[in-house]
Amino acid sequence: MEGIEEQRVCVKFCFKLGKSSSETFELLQQAFGNDVLSWTTCFEWFKRFKEGRTSVKDNERPGRPSTSKTNETVARVREIIRNNHRLTIREVAEDVGIYYGSCQEILTKELGMSRIAAKFVPRLLTDEQKQNRKTIAQELFERSESDQDFLKNIITVHREWVPQGQTVNQHYYLEVMKRLRENVRKKRPDSWKSGSWMLHHDNAPAHSSLLIRQFLAKNQTPVVPQPPYSPDLAPCDFFLFPKLKSTLKGRRFQTIDDIKQNTEIDLKDIPISAYQECFQKWKRRWQRCIDSQGDYFEGMTELCTSDRGAYDTVHMIMALPLIPGNKINKGFTSIQIFYEENIKLTLSNESQEKFETFFQYYRTTWLTGVYTNMLSVSGTVWRTNNVLEISHQHLKMHIGSNHQPEPR
């Protein structure tokens, strides 16, 4: 990163000119491009200058410690990733004040994380994450029980199309929030006047950024909490997106406008009663989360997280694309035999039925026609391809959308 102190001078200069922290960061982005300080670091130095600091140099230290992997550093890295699992290693290292290599080692070796689909995910939910899920579910369930209007006041879906080439970053999302507030004012005037409406969104970086949190706080917009790693507790993930996918699946569209038009039609075809039922399901999911002590509770996920044999069987199937295409069918048969001889009799009848359905689904969907050769990434440099990505996405939906892969 070029000229960290130089960028701090620029932050100080912008502060002296009366610029806001957001404006300062935008100017830094224009000036330094990919080498810009992270938003967190920029805001922190802006805050220091605002509090009276004059120096742009780091505070003097008696000496750099021999290792960056202290308990305090590891705890700090864990907290940062827990709050925003889409940060880059560089951003985390910069925020904590350690080298990139040290940060990478903490993430992979100390915290047992790996980068999957551009974000760090744990192999299974930690006790802390389970407790967080349970606590939030308990809070929301109790509020829905004590206040009959609680669910009615939540707004969790705002429909608009993102322009082609536009990244949904904090600045774009800020404009979305402004438009959302205006729509609430026009379409739900009673809720707007009383200030009773609440916003629910997930923990995407753009949603949880400081800029958005400041905007919502300034406008006194309450936010319904959403625990991390919990699409099973988000209406868009467990209701809306699957519903749209089911109607659009298998259809071909010539242009993006065709996709938009058909999606709009499908959205309008969803009756109000379906949304109302979705919110009641949301409430029941809170209860199921509480009953499972914060663990995942749907599909085969609970089975895979509680039974090592079931977990191993599913992971062997997910690893089939690593062998040559002409051996995938034989490999699948071997896994079925392993399951029959070692796992099946240890499971309940209900769990056995789930596995039978799962095996049938995989064989009829992915082991017919040309798919076996298309699935295989054996001998390739890049251990993935489009068919494999689609296969794994469907597998995770079939198993339970929250099943997390084992760290590599």
Q: What is the 3-state secondary structure (H, E, C) of 216-282?
A: HHHCCCCECCCCCCCHHHCHHHHHHHHHHHHHHCCCCCCCHHHHHHHHHHHHHHCCHHHHHHHHHHH
Kindly list the distances between the CA atom of residue 32 and the CA atoms of 35, 89, 94, 292, 369, in Å, as whole numbers in the listed order: 5, 19, 16, 48, 51
Q: What is the DSSP letter of 404?
A: P
Q: What integer pLDDT is reported at residue 386 of this predicted model?
A: 52
- Distance between CA 15 and CA 24 in Å, rounded? 8
Measured at the CA of 241, the angle between CA 86 and CA 234, to 5 degrees, comes to 60
Which among 322, 341, 320, 344 has a CA at the least distance from the CA of 331?
320
What are the residue ranges in the chain where pLDDT is below 50? 1-2, 63-66, 116-123, 401-408
CATH architecture of 1-51: Orthogonal Bundle (1.10)
pTM, full prediction = 0.52
The structure tokens listed for 390 are: 């689609």
For 127-292, which CATH class?
Answer: alpha beta
Q: Mean pLDDT, the chain, as a whole number? A: 80
Q: What's the chain's Rg over C-alpha atoms?
A: 25
Q: Which secondary structure element, helix H or strand E, spans residue 288, and what is its range?
A: helix 272-291
Exposed/middle/buried for residue 71 (C-beta within 10 Å: 0-12, 13-18, 19+): exposed
Q: What integer pLDDT is reported at residue 223 of this predicted model?
A: 94
Q: Residue 121: helix, strand or coil by DSSP?
A: strand
Characterise 250 by phi-psi region: left (phi > 0), alpha (psi -120 to 50), beta (else).
left
Paired with 223 in beta bridges are 199
- Distance between CA 108 and CA 95 in Å, rounded? 18
Q: What are the boundaries of each domain within the chain?
A: 1-51, 71-110, 127-292, 301-372+384-399
Q: What integer pLDDT is reported at residue 404 of this predicted model?
A: 41
Characterise 369 by phi-psi region: left (phi > 0), alpha (psi -120 to 50), beta (else).
left
What are the respective helix, strand and coil percentages of the chain, to the nearest 5?
65, 5, 35
- Distance between CA 310 and CA 347 in Å, rounded? 9
